[in-house]
Every structure is written in C-alpha cells, then in structure tokens.
Amino acid sequence: MCIFLFPNKTFKNLSFMTKPFNFSTFMREEFACYSKEYATHHVSITGATKLDKSKGGVFLFLHFGSFFLSGVSLIAQLGIKYTAIASTENFKVMDREESKFWKEVHKISNRLYSEKMFLSNHTKSSEILASLKKGSFVGAALDVAEIGKKHKFHPFTFLYNDILLQTAPARLAKLAKVPLYGMTISYDQKLGVHNLELTGPYDSCDVEKSVQMILTEMEPIIQNNMDQLFHDIFHLFSFPRLKDHIITTKQKKECLSVLAPIKQLKSQLPSSFCPRFESTITSWHPHRDFAYNLVKKFRPEIIVELGVHYGDSYFTFCQACDELELNTQLYGVDHWQGDKQAGFYGDDVFQEVNEYNQEFHSQNSTFLRIDFTEALKSFETSSIDLLHIDGSHEYQSVRNDFGNWLPKIKKGGMILLHDILVEREDFGVKEFWKEISKNYKTESHQEGFGLGVIHV
Ligand SMILES: C[S@@+](CC[C@H](N)C(=O)[O-])C[C@H]1O[C@@H](n2cnc3c(N)ncnc32)[C@H](O)[C@@H]1O
C-alpha cells in the first residue's frame, strides 16, 4: 500500500489496484491529492525536452483518470501556459452527485491552470486560436463524444482496431500553425508516482497523419495501463460493433486479450439513447427516445421520412438503426427549400445536412432532393415499413401526403404524423388526426407538439 503524505491530508492507495475496479471511486480518491504540490513532486514527466516552449501547441490525449493532473504538472514543472478544452454538456445526463463532483473538479482546475478552461459549448474556436497563437498550450481529448453534439470523427488505427476519434483539436493546431503533441498519464503503483509521457512534436499540417503517429506512440503506454482508462474510451471498446466508434476489428485474438481488463469498468454514461446529431430546431427532440424504442421493437426494413430539414428526426432513425445494427434502408425526402410553417431557407441547409449524411450514414441512407409527389415513383406499392410525415402542415398538404403515400406502406406498417397537438391557424394536422383516428388504429404521444402513430 502506498501512502502519500500531504501537509493536512493522508492519501491511501488508489482503489483501481483493488478489484473490481470502480472508476468513480478511483477518480474521487485521486482528486483528494489533486494539487500543485502533488503535481510538482509526484508526477514524473518524460519527453519534456521535446517541447518547443517558444510557441504554443496542442496536447492530444486519451482519457486516463489523471488527465486534469497532467496540465497542472506541465505548468508547475515546465513553466508553460496551459489550459484544457472541457465539456460540460455531458453533465446534463449525469446524476446530481456525479455532475456536482465534476463541477468541483473543473473549479479546482480553473484555479490551478494558467487560464480558465475553454468550455466546448461556450467558447468560440477563435478564442482558442488566439490563445495558441500567443504561445499557450491547450490540452484536448480525442475520445470525448458530447451528448447531443455534431461531431467530426475520423477513423484511426489503435490497438488492433479501427476507431473513430475527434479531429477538431488537431484541426485547431493546424489553424493556429502550432505543433501537436501526444500526452498520456498513468499511475505507477510500485513507485507511487504518476508518469506523464509526452510524444511529438508533430507537424499539424497533415492532421490525420499526425494524430495517427501520436496514437501509435501512445499504444505501448496505454496497453500497459488499460485499467486506468476513463469511460469515454471504455465506450469505444465496450460496444465493439457500435458503428460510430469501432469499424472493424483487425486481429481478433490479440484484440480480445488486450481488451480484457477494461471489461470490469462500469461506464458512468447512460445506456439509453444519446443523440449524436442535433440542430437548434428542437420540436422533434421530445420524440427521440420513443423513435429509438420504436425502431428497436419494430425493426423496420425501410424507413421513409417526408420533411427532413436539418435532420433532427431523420438522424434519430439513422442512429437508432446504426446502434441496433439493423440492415434498414432509410430515405429522406425533402426539396430543401422550406415551407410556410418551417420558413424558407437557402441551399446551405442541404449542404450541411448532406455532408453529415455522407460522412456518417452513406451506407444505408439516401436523400431524395425532390418534391414529395415526385418521390412517389421511387417506391413500390406496399414496400415501406415506417413512414414519417413531417412536411408542410396545412390540412390539405397533410391529407395529400397521407393519401398519396398510404399505398406504399406494407400491411402491418406504420405512419408517424408530427404536430398533432398544434393549434395554429396555418396548421391542420390536429384536424386531420381527429379524422384519421376514427378509421385507423392509432396512438398519440403527447410530448412536445405531439406525435401520432397510425397502424396500417
Ligand atoms: C417541419 S420541416 C421538417 C422537420 C424535421 N422533420 C425535423 O425533425 O426537424 C418540413 C420540411 O418539409 C419540406 N417540404 C415541405 N413540403 C414539401 C414538399 N411538398 N416536397 C418536398 N419537401 C417539402 C420543407 O422543405 C421542410 O424542410
């Protein structure tokens, strides 16, 4: 057992040495020693000579328990200016006690770092760029997926797997014209110290190549300390077929032995549906859980959506099919011009939505950028399992969409109708819903603006 002595506190052994591993307990115990004194005397830094202190840089790391400690050690021992990019978005899905704990950690870090952390949901990238250009260093994680955010991932090879990791921090380095470094920190239980290892510097011009080199250099260090990895990376490995993260496993045997230790970790993130995409148009957000569960239960082979706009509902269906590993084909129909109720918009909306679709769902999702009636000829009679109608909301439009598309639905299929509760002069969905409910088996979901389900 190792005991660290501090002026007013005694720190006992880290609980990750005892089994079963409980990350939460480990983090809490570790933060009991999170201080400038500990960072100065109990963290051993390797690779410090590689650091070009004359210009700023970005440290890329994968999550180990002590990732906050690493920053304070760099400041205390190397005299550089350092802060990290942090997220508070995931606090929203933690229970009260856990989010309280992380808020406290952020508060201490803000005090110990050279400047307050950049919060990914509040800070403009121009602020981070300005700080880097002034010669500061910024730490950022590659493996964080923030709840409800649009991410730009790239596939990398890491520990016998192809995994998707964030490229945003590396792209910031490229924009600021500063080098990239790799950073790992792990606890050496024999010596009772933390080992902080720096790799690089790498030219940030070729973002993907540099990140891959950093990951390759990190591999042996991480392989020896798999039990200290934090929950985000745990997520990457614990759902091996979750498409957003691991794409293929290259060497199954080795992979299994490498991954074995972290099986004991309990993830702190919720296991329910966490949207990977959302826009500022929130009207469909209250129905996402329902949509996910519907797809899970119903396992549709073909899903068609009339009215995609930014994709808040559409990408819910896509993500659900992805995570549930279904062979579903999805079709999003929209002329991407807008309408009276949604408002009219420019070509940029389609460009953005299409880019996301291409990047993450191109295998099974197709956009038809045409009028709903024109799209009818692309579908055979009785071919669609699930149709979501969310186009123009006037009575006659909804009635037409329903009537035109009904023959395309398989027997036993379903039609979803959005906005069945809206009482506005230019909305006729409520009226149509009342009518249709008399002739079909329906169920209504009262969240938000209401979602109707019609069984065909
Ligand atoms: C309410 S928005 C869709 C909202 C989306 N489902 C969501 O979750 O945020 C309606 C969309 O339908 C499209 N639209 C309306 N009438 C259309 C038509 N006849 N043909 C093609 N697209 C249409 C508009 O361009 C608009 O993007």
Domain map (residue ranges) of the chain:
4-264, 285-455
pTM over cut 0.95: no
Asked if residue 134 has pLDDT above 70, the reply is yes
Asked if residue 258 has pLDDT above 80, the reply is no
Ligand 1 atom closest to the Cα of residue 334 is: 22
pLDDT band (50, 70, 90) for residue 47: very high
Residue with tokens 């933060």: 31
Phi/psi for 194 (5° steps) reads: -95, 140
| Å from CA of 63 to ligand 1 middle | 40
| Å from CA of 393 to ligand 1 middle | 9
Asked if residue 123 has pLDDT above 90, the reply is no
Asked if residue 237 has pLDDT above 50, the reply is no
Asked if residue 116 has pLDDT above 70, the reply is yes
> For residue 93, what pLDDT is reported?
64
Q: What angle do CA 318, 324, 328 make, to 5 degrees?
A: 50
Ligand 1 atom closest to the Cα of residue 336 is: 25
Asked if residue 243 has pLDDT above 70, the reply is no
Express each pLDDT in 50-98 by its tens digit: 899 999 999 998 876 567 889 999 999 999 999 999 988 777 766 677 7
Is 222:199 a contact under the CB 8 Å cutoff? no
| Å from CA of 58 to ligand 1 middle | 41
Spatial separation of the C-alpha atoms in residues 263 and 289, rounded to whole Å:
27
Ligand 1 pocket test: which of 284, 306, 367, 420 has the largest number of ligand atoms within 8 Å of its C-beta?
A: 306
Ligand 1 atom closest to the Cα of residue 371 is: 20
- Tell me the two tokens of residue 132: 């880097």
Write the residue with the smallest CA distance to atom 6 of ligand 1. Answer: 308
Mean pLDDT of 363-375: 96
Spatial separation of the C-alpha atoms in residues 96 and 111, rounded to whole Å:
23
pLDDT band (50, 70, 90) for residue 227: low
The amino acid at 120: S
Express each pLDDT in 302-334 by its tens digit: 999 999 999 999 999 998 898 777 899 999 999
Q: Residues of the chain with pLDDT > 90: what percent?
A: 52
**CATH superfamily placement of domain 285-455:** Vaccinia Virus protein VP39 (3.40.50.150)
Ligand 1 atom closest to the Cα of residue 374 is: 20
- Tell me the two tokens of residue 263: 């099986």
Write the residue with the smallest CA distance to atom 25 of ligand 1. Answer: 338
Asked if residue 415 has pLDDT above 50, the reply is yes
Write the residue with the smallest CA distance to atom 3 of ligand 1. Answer: 307
| Å from CA of 272 to ligand 1 middle | 28
Based on the number of CB atoms within 10 Å of its own CB, is 48 exposed (0-12), middle (13-18) or buried (19 or more)? Answer: middle
Report how far Cα 404 is from the mean position of its chain's Cα atoms: 38
> For residue 454, what pLDDT is reported?
96
Ligand 1, CB within 6 Å, residue ranges: 281, 284, 307-310, 312-313, 334-339, 342, 371-372, 390-392
Asked if residue 15 has pLDDT above 50, the reply is no
Mean pLDDT of 243-262: 34
pLDDT band (50, 70, 90) for residue 214: very high
Whole-angstrom CA distances from 311 to 13, 95, 319, 445 are 49, 29, 11, 20
> H or E stretch including 5?
strand 4-5
| Å from CA of 426 to ligand 1 middle | 15
Is 181:200 a contact under the CB 8 Å cutoff? yes
Is 137:59 a contact under the CB 8 Å cutoff? yes
Spatial separation of the C-alpha atoms in residues 188 and 225, rounded to whole Å:
9
Is 286:448 a contact under the CB 8 Å cutoff? yes
Ligand 1 atom closest to the Cα of residue 338 is: 25
Spatial separation of the C-alpha atoms in residues 350 and 338, rounded to whole Å:
11
pLDDT band (50, 70, 90) for residue 151: low
Ligand 1 pocket test: which of 277, 333, 334 has the largest number of ligand atoms within 8 Å of its C-beta?
A: 334
Spatial separation of the C-alpha atoms in residues 283 and 393, rounded to whole Å:
14
Ligand 1 pocket test: which of 278, 282, 392, 424 has the largest number of ligand atoms within 8 Å of its C-beta?
A: 392
| Å from CA of 400 to ligand 1 middle | 14
Write the residue with the smallest CA distance to atom 24 of ligand 1. Answer: 338
Torsion of CA 102, 262, 215, 240, to 10 degrees: -100
In 122-273, which ranges are E strands?
137-141, 153-158, 161-166, 180-188, 193-202, 246-249
pLDDT band (50, 70, 90) for residue 250: very low
Is 432:400 a contact under the CB 8 Å cutoff? no
Spatial separation of the C-alpha atoms in residues 440 and 454, rounded to whole Å:
7
| Å from CA of 34 to ligand 1 middle | 52
Q: Residues of the chain with pLDDT > 70: what percent?
A: 78
Give the chain's mean pLDDT.
Answer: 81
pLDDT band (50, 70, 90) for residue 104: confident
> For residue 77, what pLDDT is reported?
97
> For residue 30, what pLDDT is reported?
67
Spatial separation of the C-alpha atoms in residues 209 and 73, rounded to whole Å:
28
Ligand 1 pocket test: which of 277, 308, 416, 419 has the largest number of ligand atoms within 8 Å of its C-beta?
A: 308
Report how far Cα 230 is from the mean position of its chain's Cα atoms: 15
Ligand 1 atom closest to the Cα of residue 393 is: 1
CA atoms within 13 A of residue 310's CA, in its CB half-sphere: 14
Please choose, from the candidates 122, 137, 121, 30, the residue with its C-alpha nearest in 3D space to the C-alpha of residue 74: 137
